[in-house]
Amino acid sequence: MTHPLFEEAKQYIVGGVNSPVRAFTGVGGEPLFVESAQGARVHASDGRAYIDYVGSWGPMIGGHSRPEVIEAVQRAASRGLSFGAPTEVETAMAKRICELVPSIERVRMVNSGTEATMTAIRLARGYTGRERVVKFEGNYHGHSDSLLVKAGSGALTQGVPNSPGVPAGLADLTMTLPYNDLDAVRQAFAEKGDEIACIIVEPVAGNMNCIPPEAGFLEGLKSVCEEYGAVLIFDEVMTGFRLAPGGAQEWAGVTPHLTTLGKIVGGGMPVGALGGQQKIMEYLSPMGPVYQAGTLSGNPLGMAAGLAMMDIISEPGFHARLDQRTAQLCDGLLEAAREAGIPLRINRVPGMFGLFFTDEQGPISRFSQVSACDQDRFKRFFHGMLEQGVYLAPSAFEAGFVSSAHSEQDIASTVDAARTVMARL
Ligand SMILES: Cc1ncc(COP(=O)(O)O)c(C=O)c1O
Ligand SMILES: N[C@H](C=O)CCC(=O)O
């Protein structure tokens, strides 16, 4: 029987959801309806609490309903919701971003990750006077036209990595290359380097499951960009503030020319940002000719929530603990799989992981390997874990997220659940 809340939602909302992956089409069945969330758990309308590894798709790195964040939003709300004029808190946010991410010298706040990446590539095109954009297969940068080409995340889950509605003329300007394949990048630049405005890349891919960069890949992208005068954009909407206080660029030791941010930067509110070298950022309006604007950009509630979340991730030892919890989870899951004789590989970076049901023995570093994984087994695992009270991302193409609120006991319970589920997979 269809869940009555989902049934009613479908009468009014397209597909019953406001973002496709939530619909559970990647795993079958019906979505959880969440009523509230606290710490590492979401409380659903079925009356159950689930240990949550979705974390609102990333923002909840400190756990749900952190009092510091909620109180900051409440204080901000008591002063008014939006002014459409500059506020001090926007400067505080920009200053904080520049301190945490040293490659960022100037910032522009927007309302989502999609807006951040859309603006970043327009800026790169305006700055270089070139039109082509290089992206990687299975990377997802939101749903703007130029970037919805061979895209990951929900586009993969729904089987529409090239969406109808994207003008062919625009899609033709997007060159899509295999992730972790530097030779393909060098070849593309050798052929069309003087037409390429930018490379945009997830420095750790999290939208085709979790794929870290191979040694030298990000460094290679930077040197190709510098050789040909193109802009290197790290899309850190997912990895920003997660892998390290300064994001994946700090973790990997490679700095891009521009960075896009989202998720954690808004602490759970709809916020995105882009930033980078002053000489490029000053091409943006009102200083430069590249236009960009937003009625609600720099919204005081979003800034308050984001700043409170920045305080949380800046606590000494925060990322080391997150990494340790992520390792505990992944080691436990691998052990459970080994006991059950289930072939499983796991990729992990601090606070992020990906499960691959595959017989492959070597590292999983390519999109082609992800798409060859046993999706049916993932679906059975997902539903088994849900039954056991563990909420994983409802798609084999999404990374999982660990928060600082996941206790050792939560992780141990998750591994116990996996042992039960794997025994009958
Ligand atoms: C790497 C990356 N870039 C961009 C986006 C788009 O962000 P948003 O959903 O806030 O528009 C996402 C997530 O959706 C993402 O994971
Ligand atoms: N992978 C996406 C963002 O990172 C998932 C969020 C969504 O599409 O709703």
What phi, psi does 383 have (nearest 5°)? -70, -35
Residue having the nearest C-alpha atom to atom 3 of ligand 2: 57
Q: What's the pLDDT at 4?
A: 94
Q: What's the pLDDT at 6?
A: 96
280-298 pLDDT per residue, tens: 999 999 999 999 999 999 9
Distance 287 CA to ligand 1 centre (A): 27
Mean of per-residue pLDDT scores for the chain: 96
* CB of 262 closer than 6 angstroms to any ligand 1 atom: yes
DSSP 162: S
Contact criterion met (CB below 8 Å) for 305 and 268 = yes
HSE, side-chain direction, 13 A CA sphere, residue 365: 12
Distance 267 CA to ligand 2 centre (A): 16
Alpha helix stretches (DSSP H) within 193-317 = 217-228, 247-252, 278-281, 300-313
CB atoms within 10 A of CB 424: 8
Indicate if the pLDDT at residue 401 is higher than 80. yes
DSSP 93-152: HHHHHHHHSTT-SEEEEESSHHHHHHHHHHHHHHHHT--EEEEETT----S-GGG-SS--
* Mean pLDDT to the nearest integer, 259-276: 98
49-86 pLDDT per residue, tens: 999 999 999 999 999 999 999 999 999 999 999 999 99
Q: Is the ipTM of this complex over 0.95?
A: yes
Largest CA distance in the chain: 61
Mutating to test ligand 1, I would choose from 141, 153, 269 the residue with most ligand atoms within 8 A of its C-beta, which is 141
Q: What's the pLDDT at 341?
A: 97
* CB of 154 closer than 6 angstroms to any ligand 1 atom: no
Distance 24 CA to ligand 2 centre (A): 12
Q: What's the pLDDT at 164?
A: 87
Q: What's the pLDDT at 152?
A: 83
Can you tell me which atom of ligand 2 is nearest the CA of 263? 4
Of 151-155, 245-249, 295-299, 416-420, the one with minimum mean pLDDT is 151-155
Contact criterion met (CB below 8 Å) for 284 and 107 = no
Contact criterion met (CB below 8 Å) for 25 and 157 = yes
Q: What's the pLDDT at 1?
A: 61
The percent of residues above 70 in pLDDT, for the chain, comes to 100
170-210 pLDDT per residue, tens: 999 999 999 999 999 999 999 999 999 999 999 999 999 99
